[in-house]
């Protein structure tokens, strides 16, 4: 009878440890996702600063995505998203 209780206690301890481990992993993933989101917001702010400068200088980065839409922003389409991804990568590696 004593062995049965020890096994049940060990099973309970393992379940509790597994629960805490999964909670820790979920928390770590949430923190990483929040950092990624914050870094994306920072990247957008950085690009906006470059767009302001380019706009003042009347410069538009060529893009096949622009499709003769001259009203589109200075950094547009694929070029915008490649720049955004590169900035996010730099920010992710810095943190």
Q: What would the pLDDT profile of 36-67 be if each residue is shown by its tens digit?
A: 889 999 999 999 999 999 999 999 998 888 87
CA 88 to chain centre: 7
pTM given for the model: 0.67
CA angle at residue 26 from 88 to 17, to 5 degrees? 145
What is the helix, strand, coil percentage profile of the chain, to 5?
80, 0, 20
Q: What is the pLDDT of residues 4-17, one digit of tens each?
A: 687 788 888 899 99
């Amino acid at each position: 009878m004593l062995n049965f209780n020890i096994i049940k206690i060990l099973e309970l301890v393992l379940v509790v440890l597994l629960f805490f481990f999964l909670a820790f992993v979920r928390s770590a993933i949430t923190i990483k996702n929040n950092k990624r989101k914050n870094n994306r917001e920072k990247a957008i702010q950085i690009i906006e600063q470059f767009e302001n400068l380019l706009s003042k200088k009347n410069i538009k980065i060529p893009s096949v995505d622009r499709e003769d839409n001259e009203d589109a922003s200075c950094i547009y389409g694929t070029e915008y998203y490649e720049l955004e991804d590169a900035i996010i990568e730099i920010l992710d590696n810095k943190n």
